[in-house]
Amino acid sequence: MDIRQVEKRIDELIEQLNLHNHNYYVLDQPTITDFEFDTMLQELNCLEKEYPALLRFDSPTQRVGGEIIKSFKQVKHTYPMLSLGNTYSEEELKDFDSRIQKLIVDDFEYVCELKYDGVAIGLTYENGVLMQAVTRGDGVQGDDVTANVKTIRSIPLQLKGDYPEKFEIRGEIILPHAGFEKMNNERIEIGEEAFANPRNAASGSLKMQDSKEVAHRPLDCYLYFLLGENLPYNSHYENLLKAKEWGFKISNYMVKCSNLDDVFDFINYWNKERTKLGFDIDGIVIKVNDYQQWKQLGFTAKSPRWAIAYKFKAEKAISTLLSIDFQVGRTGTVTPVANLRPVQLAGTVVKRASLYNVDFIQNMDIRIGDLVYVEKGGEIIPKIVGVLIDKRSDNTNCFEFISTCPECGSELIRKDGEAAYFCQNENSCPPQIKGKLSHFIHRKAMNIDSLGEGKIEMLFDNALLNDAADLYDLNYENLIGLEKIIESGDDKKQKKLSFQEKTVANILNGIEKSKSVGFERVLFALGIRYVGETVAKKLAIHYQNIDNLMLASVDDLITVDEIGEKIAESIIAFFANKKNILIIDRLRAKGLQFAMFTEAVDLISNVLEGKSFVVSGVFEQFSRDELKLAIEQNGGKNIASISSKTDYVLAGEKMGQEKRKKAETLKIPIISIVDFLEMVR
């Protein structure tokens, strides 16, 4: 292909991919498979790598992030970012309507919209290109979060159709329930604290320094307000419909109402149906439609007179706190859970509520026997939001967290700066052992799907399974005929589980098959605290095998992408535990993969032959792995840390001071990405 053909192909691919992105993320109507999409994306990626001059800002490859921001630039809003007056009462909504009736003599219409419960954002477009994304901040100025916002697939980087030359559009960044739950499960899996609700998660995601991380958060954005000099219409509703044509995600549930009765119908409908939306709304926004009438109505000091937010009352119930359970997780975290007198709330019977940690209980002074308010916001687990202190009986005691593990009796500890208590008896506390085994066989780890939690429990109870390595000692004789009565479901129905020929064969097959699972997943399966799927992958690629990883120091570990001190220290602690080393040795003897498959790299040239490189820091256009591959493809060698044997240090942004000093002391040339590209050209 000559360069013109390449350019044409890139244009075609971008047009196609952007269209499919829009179909998937904005319209919710994909027309091709993920595989087809990924294939096109990969082709585009390759062409852009080969011809960096042809890289376009609106390429979907630019959605993966990469920019790292230490502190967000403060930007003054062109138009102050006001909020809305809000009310929970029908009466006040009637007052709002009467005021408008008085001030406006002509007919008028309302637009009713969902009130998204997320983070407000203002997007500025110039000539159809997304220029800036700013948070509300104090309403006068906010944080420039453009790099992070560009990773949100439903926000167009380039508009279509006849848009004004310059305008701002405001909306709400939200995290839909499905993404929120998946994300929280993953966080819990790697021992991180779960977000309390989707709004916190969206807000936390938007403020992350590494936009690559933000790209992994399943954020979405609905737009609801246009600002600018040359908007196509003189009314809100029509402009929003136009903005939909430019590519924005505008709600399909926005309606025009000509009287208050219709407004109340809309409110009542969504108060019931909101649980089916798949994301949180906390009310309905009612706006006058006509801009001329906006002018007549004007503003109060804080908010426009032409709009109001009617907020749904969170559904609340009163119940008695009967007792507190303490659950011990895979990594030893002890989580308190409230047992409540069963109470009807938002269509379900609530018996349990999350109590998060000791601080939560103590700050609210929650005591056993108390009458408590339980609330359900959206679909999320019910929580205790208050105590009826004046109804408290005299004989209650202040809550004290347990000091020993409810499962194994070991003493609990609480580390500095952490909210949770831990049971440190990781090798013999039953829920920790069973939790670790369940994690080990998990689909994303060793994927032994012929075993599940019930079977793990049964093998554990029969003393056949105490750690992951025991799995590989299981055989036909000790499995066949094994029996257990289990209780399942809410009604605790009894079921007999018995291992027959077929089950045994399946289990043994699944275990055997797992021996070919790749190193990165074996590493994840080991269940090192804070080492989730992504981190395990990064470590596996960086260190290539478990021996290199076991030798790594904290200083060395933190040079790896996404590894901070907390993770590094957890890795060191894991390998310092002799029992873990013993398990690894046994697993290794059974034939599990503790090294990456080294694929022979196709050589492009040998200009780097005999040269060793350390790649460090962050690069705008390439990931470190891509650069390492380029080094190997040109005959060079990658090494993990700087020593006298290093020929070059390829330095990106944020390379650690320690490394720089070491390279300077050893007089090793520190080269930039430009120098490197020059070498391999």
Q: Which residues are catalytic?
A: 115
Cβ 120 to ligand IVH shortest distance, Å:
3
CA angle, residues 518, 524, 525, in degrees to nearest 5: 85
- Residue 110 near ligand IVH by CB under 6 A: no
By the 10 Å C-beta count (0-12 exposed, 13-18 middle, 19+ buried), 240 is classed as buried
Cβ 149 to ligand IVH shortest distance, Å:
15
CB of 82 or CB of 317, closer to ligand IVH: 82
Strand locations in 361-420, DSSP E?
Answer: 371-376, 383-387, 412-413
Q: Which span (111-119, 351-359, 496-504, 583-591) binds ligand IVH, by CB under 6 A?
A: 111-119
By the 10 Å C-beta count (0-12 exposed, 13-18 middle, 19+ buried), 495 is classed as exposed
The whole-angstrom separation of Cα 469 and Cα 440 is 10
Beta-carbon contacts of 10 under 8 Å, excluding residues fewer than 6 positions away, are 44, 47, 48, 51, 54, 56, 59
Beta-carbon contacts of 412 under 8 Å, excluding residues fewer than 6 positions away, are 334, 401, 402, 403, 404, 405, 421, 422, 423
CB of 250 or CB of 567, closer to ligand IVH: 250
- Residue 113 near ligand IVH by CB under 6 A: yes
Q: Which span (78-86, 100-108, 406-414, 584-592) binds ligand IVH, by CB under 6 A?
A: 78-86
For 420, the token pair is 């949770």
Cβ 281 to ligand IVH shortest distance, Å:
8
For 652, the token pair is 């990106």
Among 30, 176, 278, 304, binds ligand IVH (CB under 6 A): 304
CB of 263 or CB of 309, closer to ligand IVH: 309
Residue whose pair of structure tokens reads 């260190």 in the numeric block: 543
Cβ 192 to ligand IVH shortest distance, Å:
27
Q: Which of residues 305-344 bind ligand IVH (CB under 6 A)?
A: 307, 309
DSSP of 137-190, one letter per residue? TTSSEEEB-HHHHTT-TTS-SB--SS--SEEEEEEEEE--HHHHHHHHHHHHHT
* CA dihedral over 622, 543, 205, 221, signed as positive or negative: positive
CB of 234 or CB of 424, closer to ligand IVH: 234
CB of 283 or CB of 532, closer to ligand IVH: 283
Q: Which span (76-84, 508-516, 602-610, 650-658) binds ligand IVH, by CB under 6 A?
A: 76-84
Q: Which of residues 151-180 bind ligand IVH (CB under 6 A)?
A: 172
Q: Which of residues 11-50 bind ligand IVH (CB under 6 A)?
A: none
Beta-carbon contacts of 619 under 8 Å, excluding residues fewer than 6 positions away, are 627, 652, 653, 673
Among 19, 82, 596, 677, binds ligand IVH (CB under 6 A): 82
Cβ 183 to ligand IVH shortest distance, Å:
22
Cβ 287 to ligand IVH shortest distance, Å:
7
Q: Which span (112-120, 255-263, 429-437, 669-677) binds ligand IVH, by CB under 6 A?
A: 112-120
On whether the CB atoms of residues 308 and 93 are closer than 8 A, the answer is yes
Q: Which span (304-312, 451-459, 616-624, 665-673) binds ligand IVH, by CB under 6 A?
A: 304-312
CA distances (Å), 502 to each of 220, 450, 476, 667, in order? 46, 11, 11, 65
CB of 139 or CB of 481, closer to ligand IVH: 139
The whole-angstrom separation of Cα 136 and Cα 72 is 13
On whether the CB atoms of residues 537 and 481 are closer than 8 A, the answer is no
Q: Which of residues 266-295 bind ligand IVH (CB under 6 A)?
A: 285
DSSP of 610-650, one letter per residue? T-EEEEESB-SSS-HHHHHHHHHHTT-EE-SS--TT--EEE
Q: Which span (83-91, 446-454, 605-613, 618-626) binds ligand IVH, by CB under 6 A?
A: 83-91
Q: What are phi and psi of 558, to 5 degrees?
A: -75, -5
Cβ 310 to ligand IVH shortest distance, Å:
11
Sort strands 86-87 and 220-227 into parallel, antiparallel or unpaired. Answer: unpaired
CB of 172 or CB of 467, closer to ligand IVH: 172
Greatest pairwise CA separation for the chain in angstroms: 89
- Residue 116 near ligand IVH by CB under 6 A: yes
x/- string (CB under 6 A) for ligand IVH, residues 210-249?
--------------xx------------------------
On whether the CB atoms of residues 309 and 281 are closer than 8 A, the answer is no
The whole-angstrom separation of Cα 676 and Cα 647 is 13
CB of 116 or CB of 574, closer to ligand IVH: 116
CB of 72 or CB of 224, closer to ligand IVH: 224
Q: Which span (82-90, 155-163, 402-410, 596-604) binds ligand IVH, by CB under 6 A?
A: 82-90
Residue positions counted in the chain: 681
CB of 66 or CB of 378, closer to ligand IVH: 378
Q: Which residues pair with 48 in a beta bridge?
A: none
Q: Which span (12-20, 79-87, 328-336, 395-403) binds ligand IVH, by CB under 6 A?
A: 79-87
Cβ 311 to ligand IVH shortest distance, Å:
9
Cβ 114 to ligand IVH shortest distance, Å:
6
- Residue 250 near ligand IVH by CB under 6 A: no
Q: What are phi and psi of 38, to 5 degrees?
A: -60, -35
- Residue 120 near ligand IVH by CB under 6 A: yes
On whether the CB atoms of residues 245 and 106 are closer than 8 A, the answer is no
Residue nearest to ligand IVH (CB): 120
Count of residues binding ligand IVH (CB under 6 A)? Answer: 15
CB of 125 or CB of 224, closer to ligand IVH: 224
Cβ 315 to ligand IVH shortest distance, Å:
20
Cβ 170 to ligand IVH shortest distance, Å:
6
Return residues touching ligand IVH (CB under 6 A).
82-84, 86, 113, 115-116, 120, 172, 224-225, 285, 304, 307, 309
